[in-house]
Amino acid sequence: MRFATTMAAAALAWLAVLPAAAAPSASDPLDSARWEDMRRELFRDAPVRFDARVRVSAPAIAENPLEVPVQVDATGLAGVEEVVVFADFNPILKVLSFRPGEARPSLGFRVKLQQSSPVRAAVRTVDGEWHVGGTWVTTTGGGCTLPSTGSGSPEWQSRLNEVSARRFPRIDGGERVRLRIIHPMDTGLANGIPVFHIETLTLADADAELMHIEPAEPVAENPVFTIDLPPQRDRGPIRITGRDNNGNRIDAEVAR
């Protein structure tokens, strides 16, 4: 009896010193059948945990699967280095990624959904840990396999990568930048229409990079991005540069 008690105590002591990564991951709060696949594919052996401080806002029911508005907000976390947005049941898993730079770690955009799916954001902090939040979106589907309207219009050829943008003051003294880029953002999944999407987009002022965005095919046609900037003493013009997967350049400036 004393031997069994000693062995049990030793086992408990051994478990107590196991690293956190060795503990089984918490169950998915969105109860997705694909979560474990997502975890293995995106994060491999990196530490991952669900975190309520990563907020993903989207309509519970989206009537238009081609343009589902999404807002990702990780301002509750310190030391954010990278954010990856993905949809569990999309044929193209990754929606986009971004590095906040000098901007707040938040981003608004629109996404195409093929069917009802969790839409998630995974936030990597300086310690290498991934913090995951998300929400379910119910939709009729088909967003990723339908052709864009721009792909059948001659107008996009003359306006391709045209940028329109505005800056708005925030009540905290910062700024909000909202920009729209003319681009069909074709996924390559519609018959006879090759993949054609913006690959990189960088916002910078004279002093620093504000945000670097890497949109993937599921970002909606003519993408709209909303970026929040913290208060600054004197922020001049903001430069917007980038390219699509065919090498077409994006280059614009937003004055104060």
Contact yes or no for 46/122 (Cβ under 8 A): no
How does pLDDT run along the chain (256 residues), one tens digit per residue? 443 444 344 433 333 333 333 333 468 999 999 999 989 999 999 999 999 999 999 999 999 999 999 999 999 999 999 999 999 999 999 999 999 999 999 999 999 999 999 999 999 999 999 999 999 999 998 999 988 887 777 777 789 999 999 999 999 999 999 999 999 999 999 999 999 999 999 999 998 999 999 999 999 999 999 999 999 766 799 999 999 999 999 999 999 7
Is 21 domain-assigned? no
Is 226 domain-assigned? yes
Neighbours of 77 (CB within 10 A): 18
Contact yes or no for 91/113 (Cβ under 8 A): no
Is 8 domain-assigned? no
CATH number at residue 234: 2.60.40.2470
Write b or e for each residue in 163-201: b if 16 or more Cβ atoms lie within 10 A of its Cβ, otherwise e: bebebeeeeeebbebebebbbbbbbebeeebeebbbeeb
- What residues have CB less than 8 Å from 170, skipping those under 6 apart? 176, 228
Alpha-carbon span 177 to 42, nearest angstrom:
30
Q: Could you list the residue range(s) of the whole structural domain that residue 160 is in?
A: 47-254
Is 38 domain-assigned? no
- How many structural domains does the chain have? 1
101: three-class secondary structure by DSSP: coil
Please state the pTM of the whole predicted model: 0.88
Question: How much is the pLDDT for 25?
Answer: 47
Is 110 domain-assigned? yes
Is 175 domain-assigned? yes
Question: How much is the pLDDT for 31?
Answer: 95
Question: How much is the pLDDT for 232?
Answer: 79
